[in-house]
Structure 1
């Protein structure tokens, strides 16, 4: 290998293209500053509109990527690289990359679907395929949630689109359903009055529609009382814990017993006589069926022959059964 020739080529390249390289470096630095300024300007413009933050973040991310791609083409032109050939290579590489990154492209496309369908916004408490959390951002490929215990959950957009999405905030109000258990000896009217007074004492509970309380189930060891009330979505857990704790306290204060699971066992001393019907089973009577008229004579012959075979088979079976009964006698 002729190292001297390689050295001379490198030196001649920098001598001929040194100025272009300097321009490319300057364009790269200026391009980065320009992209950041454009992104900041877009964020300010979007913040003044009614567009939601999730949608704003998605558009800003997409525009940032497009600007960086444009910057690469500008630098390639400054360095004297043939952009036509570069585009051909890029398109070929794009096909290969798209095949390798099918899931990522699917997430990108489903991100657009989420922007169009608009099933949630930033700050909504949602359940996506059983995963619960508060929406933080919608990126180009992922939806980011914050769980109740402050964990960051990143779900691919394709999974979000194909899953059941439950939005707890979108309608503004939520129903809280409570289930209480009391002793069979309890005064149901008094129990309902206690639960109603607890609910009425909390100003976050809506009075229209009014709270509903009723005896729901007769369990093995207790009476099941169901109660529900309506609250604003943001007050759901505060009211849930308030009612649960205070109903329990009021039950104790009013001597309402909450029973444990129990089983009552009795010893019977008398014999049990089971009633028996002595009559034998009735004889089988075939259900009358409408006879289908078959137009084709050949098909009619085939059906008739099959019926005869079935009748012969039934007679043989009956005869065998009769013989067995006689032998057993």
Structure 2
């Protein structure tokens, strides 16, 4: 190979390298700028929906969908600039669709479940729920997963399909909840006096909705105690405050009245041999 051919090859490689290098740089620029624009656009859509008081659950879901669609468009545009025929790429992806669907059936079911959650609204952002084997406040309903925040500030990521395939208990849909307590006293206690004391304790709490009725009744004659049901209605926001205060006040008052609260115990009798 003579000097002239070597120079020609080097020149060709240099020309093609510059051409390809420019395409790759341009494609990278399209990708990063497009990704930045997609983020800005979705942030603008989010702010607009929030300013118009659109439900946070719906807002989060729509914004995520738009962002990933925009990102897919950016990727296709970048690949086109490099010279990859996107029509062929789409055909390949379409041909492999069945295999991808089988491999990602869990993700697809999560996506479908996310759509169901948005359509039927069994829960929304801010609700306190028990769903998918977890309990907490709904922070986000995403495309594939939902995020719950526990009372002690732990984040739980729950697949959407787990939520829709199991029972959902939503503690936030109703303005009022009933506080159910079971109070056990000794068999030696005066039943009427116990009921009077419990009624006085309940009536003394102004947060209790007395107009909805108060139930205090003998619930069970258990093995070591006489159990009373103490049931009253409160605002949902007052539930735990009333629950804790009632338990404390009942204990203090029963102690003051000399009414025993029994605890499990065992009597052992030793017989002397004759």
* Structure 2 length-normalised TM: 0.87
Offset at residue 7 of structure 1 (A): 7.0
Contact kept, 8 Å, 1:133 with 1:146, in 2: the verdict is: yes
Q: Pick the aligned partner of 2:114 from 88, 111, 128.
A: 111
- Please give the residue correspondences for 1:1-329 in structure 2 after superposition, counting only pairs within 5 Å: 10-261=13-264
Q: Report deviation, 1:17.
A: 4.1
**Deviation of 1:187 (Å):** 2.1
Q: Is the Cα contact below 8 Å between 1:199 and 1:243 reproduced in 2?
A: yes
Question: Which position in structure 2 is the counterpart of 1:310?
Answer: none
1:60-110: per-residue Cα shift (whole Å, max 9, x none)?
A: 111111001101121223233222212212323444322211101110111
Q: Which 10-residue stretch deviates more, 211-220 or 254-263? A: 254-263
Which TM-score applies when normalising by structure 1?
A: 0.73
How many residues get paired? 264
**Structure possessing the higher relative contact order (Cα contacts under 8 Å, 6 or more residues apart):** 2
Q: CA deviation at 1:39?
A: 1.0
Post-superposition Cα deviations, 1:114-146, rounded to whole Å, max 9, x if no partner, equal 111101111211111542211111111111112
Consecutive unaligned residues of structure 1, counting only runs of 5 or more, are 267-329
| TM-superposition CA deviations, 1:212-247 (whole Å, max 9, x none) | 101121223321111101112222111111000100
Select between 74-83 and 112-121 the one with higher mean Cα deviation: 74-83
Distance 1:29 1:264 in 2: 77
RMSD between aligned residues? 2.6
The 1-side partners of 2:15 and 2:232 are apart by: 83
- Work out which of the two has the higher radius of gyration on C-alpha atoms and give 1 or 2: 1
Tell me: CA distance 1:5–1:107, structure 2 relative to 1, closer, same or farther (3 Å). Answer: farther
Q: CA deviation at 1:261?
A: 4.0
2:272 corresponds to? none
Unaligned runs of 5+ in 2: 1-6, 270-274
Q: Is the 8 A contact 2:132 2:158 kept in 1?
A: no
Question: What secondary structure, in the 3-state scheme, does the structure 2 residue paired with 1:174 have?
Answer: strand
